Structure 1
Amino acid sequence: MRRTIKVTLKRYFSSHFRKDIMSGITVGVISLPLAMAFAIASGVKPEYGIYTTVIAAVLAAVFGGSRYQVTGPTGAFIPILLSIVLTYGYENLLLAGLMSGIILMVMGLLHMGNLIKFIPRPVTIGFTAGIAVNIFTGQIANFLGLTGLERHDSFIASMRDIFVHLDTVNAYSIITALFCLGMILLTPRFLPKVPGSLIGLLSSTLLAAFVYPGQIQTIASAFGGIPSTLPHFTLPVLTWDRLEQLARPAFTIAMLGAIESLLSAVVADGMTGTRHNSNRELIGQGIANIVAPLFGGIPATGAIARTATNIKSGAATHYSVIISALFVLVTLLLFAPYAGSIPLASMAPVLMIVAYNMSEHHAFIAILRTRSNSAGILITTFFLTVLANLAVAVEIGLLLAMVIFVKRMSDILVVTKVLPDPENHLSRISAQDRLNSHDCPQISIFSIEGPLFFGAAQMFSQSLLETIRYNPRIVILRLSKVPFMDLTGEDHLCTIIKSLQKRGIAVLVSGLNEQPEKMLHITGLYDKIDREHFFPHTVHAITYALQHTDPECCRKCRSRIFQGCGATATDPAAEEISA
């Protein structure tokens, strides 16, 4: 055992350690300023963002299901966390984060990881763009150096407050913010391997400190500086009222965290050719969000930009994420006092760039150009996110998407009266244009195509019963193109069959698929129809039906619909032979 561990460690340090240390430091350098910026924008002290970056990254890397995922505070959480802080306070934010972690763990244990992927793209793009707008507008005050403002969780109230206090604009803040923004945009051109946000923060901080000291607000003046100490363990006070009050915010955090982390994991898979375990990733994110609040950390999720940076920097294993967290921790202990000199105006362009990058404006415009129901869902989700809140936006967006999906699926279901194609000798069933002039009075065949579920069941029963305008002897239901049947669909099918049987019409079923057959067995409808009335192919059902038709009726019929009844049909040739 010891020999195996020794060999494994030797192999890691010889092959992967150098790659992981380089990528870990790179990610750590990027994560540090973002952690402070996200925490401040969320309405909490900057050190809480750093604590989150350290704790959540390590736990998610150890217990998660993605090899390269970097977990920490993200821009997507800012509007939600700010709203919770303003409404319930910081202590309740920690409890809501812990509750969201429990929800994430339960989702992972129940194997719900794949279900998150079914959330429609217009919904995700809509609320992501809405969050980006809220983040961007939330930094206007710091960019302009406005004073006397109150923090609002309402977009309209925030914008109104900004316009009211425009007379407090600080020119030094604008200079600092523009200088930082310029450095962020120019750094990738001249130093592509150096994080632009770090260069922007450092250079603008030096500018403010030496050129016009004391003229603008800094982290130290706003929050009292950043302590260079480790976080303290604290258990939240649990009461039923608090749990009930925070249930909805916690669920919103969990849902957004699940979506963001799994989306980030998918991006990592695409960049590396690996495959993540979505359920294990939810469990890892859950553990991270349970533990981080116990040390003052805010909710965290997978960060797409930092995950991509981790991969591009050459990360070989998940230890690169742990190394990045250790780098942030050491930096906190050694240089925290100096971070207090960072101007809030320098943080504003960093977050504005984050908002722009996460807005997915290209996808937003592409969906709008379709001028479809998806565009309506996108617009609705977007405006609800901006003007109301994310929870309402996601709920209504999903509801609209579900309604439109049900409508589309119901439109797919087609009930058609069909006849054999004489040219193919019953090998294929096809629709006929003139059923009234060319039809069998004893056997009616109906082809049902599409899922038979609650959204289409009513239309199915109406179409079928309205089409049967006479009393044939036998009705054949061709169900080979019905892939799925739910209880509502089965109930309507049962009603139709009972109605036909009361009129003395026998019902035959052909081509029943596996799932609908199980449903009929469960409900007992299979036996009510009669086991002998199920056939693998429509041709077999027709053969059975011909054996149970009225010979006298066949003798008088001139249509000759079926191959088996041609010899008994009354036509000049048949009469000549019989004579």
Structure 2
Amino acid sequence: MSLQLQPFRPRLLDALKGYDRAKFVADVSAGLTVGVVALPLAMAFAIASGVKPEQGIFTAIVAGFLISALGGSNVQIGGPAGAFIVIVYGIVERYGLTNLLISTALAGVLLFAMGALKLGALVRYIPVTIIIGFTNGIAVLIGLSQVKDLLGLEIAKLPADFFTQIGVLAAHANTFNPMALAIGLACLALVVVWPKSYTMPLDNIGWRHRLYRLAAHVPGTIVALVLATLATALLHLPVETIGSRFGGIPQSLPQLALPPFSWESAKQLVIPTITIALLGAIESLLCARVADNLIDAPRHDPNQELMAQGVANMVAPAFGGIPATGTIARTVTNVRSGAVTPIAGIVHALTLLAIVLVAAPLALHVPLAALAGILLFVAWNMGEWREFARLRHFSLPYRTILLGTFFLTVVFDLTVAVEVGLVLACVFFIYRMSTLFRVRPHDPAELPPGVQVFELFGSLFFGAVGKIEALPAQVGEGTRALVLEMHRLISLDTSGLDALEQLHRTLKKRGVALVLANVNEQPLSLMRRSGFDAVLGEDAIVPSVAAAFEHDALNPAAPAR
């Protein structure tokens, strides 16, 4: 059997068919808007991840361009994401920046392979409880990581461990800067109250309505960032800025520089690589599904999207970029701004490039407290906090998986949380399926003497074999045949088959025949392939319970076998 790989066909090729001036104008307008929105987020995500602000911008430029040009969605915007902050920070702390770049490139290879092998649909099999749990956990960690800059604390390097972070923050509380807190809270409040959209009324259109509509088209994050930067520069406020910590942002194109690679270091980066690839796949495909529900266009191709994410993460580290994926906030902004095709995402990347070439020196005065306020808003929007209030309405397994994944993400890391969450989900699923399997006895008064009939319901698999193993104890004295009615047995696995074989051997020693009635196609196919039907005998698998009564064991006149 030959392996069928996913053909590499970007959605851009289909989107350009019938492309006209109206679509171009809409895409350019949306791309310019998203590019402006992405600027403060790219810097904030990079700084919070423990790298330089320009690395976030270069990631948004390079990876954002490639994800739009090569991806499987019409409107998805790619770039650095808030979900990666905790992961990237931990990798930088433990392995160093060079190994982060290597892990990102290796994760890109893994993502491309997942798409080429048509594994995009498998990401959807991760339970929603695990996704909610680790998303909320990451949001909490992002919020905690911003306390340092929000309060203006003098901490040289914040550790990655949750409890150690709290201890370090508490130990440096005496370095609190009231001015930084004021700037951060002012930016947070401005982003919260700034109009996100505004519908013009049909009548009484005055200057106030026009002003509101104009404000709704200007991103609140940009307004907050510009005002905070102007206040810091003009009033010489005593707060830490991008210039004081990083020396500013280079006013040039990102330089191509391949990170040094060795197999020795690569072998130590298996866990970080898998973590980046897994989170990137989940985030990008969740984002693409959200976009599908907002636009009237063909649904995204998950495999092509994964291949584009792979290419982007392979190329971005060569320019100093950090991991990239689809971003829900910027994608929604892109859709609401009127984007139609991937051209909008390409324009967004080119807009960021133009801003870097023209306005990079202005970033010197951007206060880090302002970026902390913006990131707190991002973290709050990232979490699905209502799910905690709704937990009482759900089952114990649901609550256990969600809360377990949440606390493990906060206390340990995403990889441990997802691994344990998946194990818990499997255990609870097995338990639930085992409870659905039932063995129901028929009324003895309705049966011929010497016959016992049990009806099987559900799926006989490794988690339910105990109920079959308990059957010999229920077979009374004088029983000549045990009939299993399997009309409602929908599936059988090898463990279930082994339990039936063991049941047959036990009953045979006691002189009791085993007869299977009304066996469905899947269990019957497994029995035939394993040879169990031959062991039972030709007349031991019958079409109905009534036919089972004609079995040799119930017919005294039949010749002995």
- TM-score normalised according to structure 1 size: 0.86
Return closer, same or farther for 1:468/1:278 CA change in 2, 3 Å cut-off.
farther
| C-alpha deviation, 1:8, in angstroms | 9.4
Return closer, same or farther for 1:518/1:311 CA change in 2, 3 Å cut-off.
farther
Return closer, same or farther for 1:480/1:162 CA change in 2, 3 Å cut-off.
same
Retained in 1: the 8 A contact 2:459–2:489? yes
Retained in 1: the 8 A contact 2:102–2:259? yes
Counterpart CA distance in 2 for 1:526 and 1:265 is 49
Residue 449 of structure 1 aligns with which residue?
457
Residue 11 of structure 2 aligns with which residue?
none
Residue 203 of structure 1 aligns with which residue?
227
Residue 270 of structure 1 aligns with which residue?
293
Retained in 1: the 8 A contact 2:121–2:302? yes
Counterpart CA distance in 2 for 1:179 and 1:324 is 28
Asked if 1:410 corresponds to 2:417, the answer is: no
Aligned pairs for 1:227-306 (under 5 A) are 227-273=250-296, 274-306=298-330
Residue 546 of structure 2 aligns with which residue?
542
Q: Mean Cα displacement is larger for which, 468-477 or 76-85?
A: 468-477
| C-alpha deviation, 1:281, in angstroms | 1.9
Counterpart CA distance in 1 for 2:424 and 2:31 is 42
Letter of the structure 1 residue corresponding to residue 284 of structure 2: S
Counterpart CA distance in 1 for 2:331 and 2:528 is 49
In structure 2, which of residues 55, 68, 76 is the aligned counterpart of residue 69 of structure 1? 76
Root-mean-square deviation (Å): 2.4
Counterpart CA distance in 1 for 2:230 and 2:49 is 25
Counterpart CA distance in 2 for 1:150 and 1:91 is 18
Counterpart CA distance in 2 for 1:82 and 1:551 is 76
Counterpart CA distance in 1 for 2:67 and 2:407 is 33
Retained in 1: the 8 A contact 2:58–2:321? yes
Retained in 2: the 8 A contact 1:415–1:463? no
Asked if 1:460 corresponds to 2:467, the answer is: yes
Partner SS, residue 481 of structure 1: strand
Return closer, same or farther for 1:486/1:316 CA change in 2, 3 Å cut-off.
same
Retained in 1: the 8 A contact 2:231–2:237? no
In structure 1, which of residues 374, 384, 390 is the aligned counterpart of residue 398 of structure 2? 374
- TM-score normalised according to structure 2 size: 0.89
Unaligned 5+ runs, structure 2: 1-13, 197-211
Retained in 2: the 8 A contact 1:126–1:364? no
Aligned pairs for 1:108-507 (under 5 A) are 108-188=115-195, 190=212, 191-211=215-235, 213=236, 215-273=238-296, 274-370=298-394, 372-418=396-442, 432=443, 435=444, 439-457=447-465, 459-470=466-477, 472-507=479-514
Q: More relative contact order in 1 or in 2 (CA 8 Å, sep 6+)? A: 2
After superposition, give the CA deviation of every residue in 1:488-539 in whole Å (9 maximum; x if it has no partner). Answer: 222212222233344444433333333333322332223333455434x42x
Retained in 2: the 8 A contact 1:86–1:151? no
Counterpart CA distance in 2 for 1:244 and 1:14 is 51
After superposition, give the CA deviation of every residue in 1:548-575 in whole Å (9 maximum; x if it has no partner). Answer: 4646699xxxxxxxxxxxxxxxxxxxxx
Retained in 2: the 8 A contact 1:176–1:208? no
After superposition, give the CA deviation of every residue in 1:266-308 in whole Å (9 maximum; x if it has no partner). Answer: 1112222542222222222122111111221101111111111
Counterpart CA distance in 2 for 1:401 and 1:530 is 40
Return closer, same or farther for 1:15/1:478 CA change in 2, 3 Å cut-off.
farther
Counterpart CA distance in 1 for 2:58 and 2:478 is 76
Counterpart CA distance in 2 for 1:80 and 1:251 is 11
Retained in 1: the 8 A contact 2:515–2:548? no
Counterpart CA distance in 1 for 2:516 and 2:348 is 63
Aligned length in residues:
528
Retained in 2: the 8 A contact 1:24–1:310? yes
Q: Mean Cα displacement is larger for which, 171-180 or 345-354?
A: 171-180
Counterpart CA distance in 1 for 2:484 and 2:54 is 68
Retained in 1: the 8 A contact 2:71–2:305? yes
Retained in 2: the 8 A contact 1:36–1:46? yes
Partner SS, residue 114 of structure 1: helix
In structure 2, which of residues 23, 36, 51 is the aligned counterpart of residue 29 of structure 1? 36
Letter of the structure 2 residue corresponding to residue 91 of structure 1: T
After superposition, give the CA deviation of every residue in 1:286-345 in whole Å (9 maximum; x if it has no partner). Answer: 221111112211011111111111112111112211111111111111111112221101
Retained in 1: the 8 A contact 2:434–2:463? yes
Counterpart CA distance in 1 for 2:186 and 2:554 is 93
Counterpart CA distance in 2 for 1:203 and 1:70 is 26
Aligned pairs for 1:488-527 (under 5 A) are 488-527=495-534
Partner SS, residue 323 of structure 1: helix
Counterpart CA distance in 1 for 2:169 and 2:393 is 33
Retained in 1: the 8 A contact 2:15–2:341? no
Counterpart CA distance in 2 for 1:123 and 1:9 is 38
Q: Mean Cα displacement is larger for which, 300-309 or 183-192?
A: 183-192
Counterpart CA distance in 2 for 1:165 and 1:232 is 38
| C-alpha deviation, 1:486, in angstroms | 2.1
In structure 2, which of residues 105, 113, 137 is the aligned counterpart of residue 98 of structure 1? 105
| C-alpha deviation, 1:103, in angstroms | 1.8
Letter of the structure 1 residue corresponding to residue 459 of structure 2: P
| C-alpha deviation, 1:54, in angstroms | 1.5
Partner SS, residue 507 of structure 1: strand
Counterpart CA distance in 2 for 1:333 and 1:515 is 65
| C-alpha deviation, 1:226, in angstroms | 0.5
Retained in 1: the 8 A contact 2:540–2:551? no
Asked if 1:86 corresponds to 2:93, the answer is: yes
Greater CA radius of gyration, 1 or 2? Answer: 1
Counterpart CA distance in 1 for 2:247 and 2:345 is 30
Letter of the structure 2 residue corresponding to residue 206 of structure 1: L
Retained in 1: the 8 A contact 2:37–2:330? yes
Counterpart CA distance in 1 for 2:237 and 2:305 is 46
Counterpart CA distance in 2 for 1:368 and 1:44 is 41
Letter of the structure 2 residue corresponding to residue 542 of structure 1: A
Retained in 2: the 8 A contact 1:54–1:326? yes
Return closer, same or farther for 1:131/1:482 CA change in 2, 3 Å cut-off.
same
Retained in 2: the 8 A contact 1:125–1:364? no
| C-alpha deviation, 1:371, in angstroms | 5.8
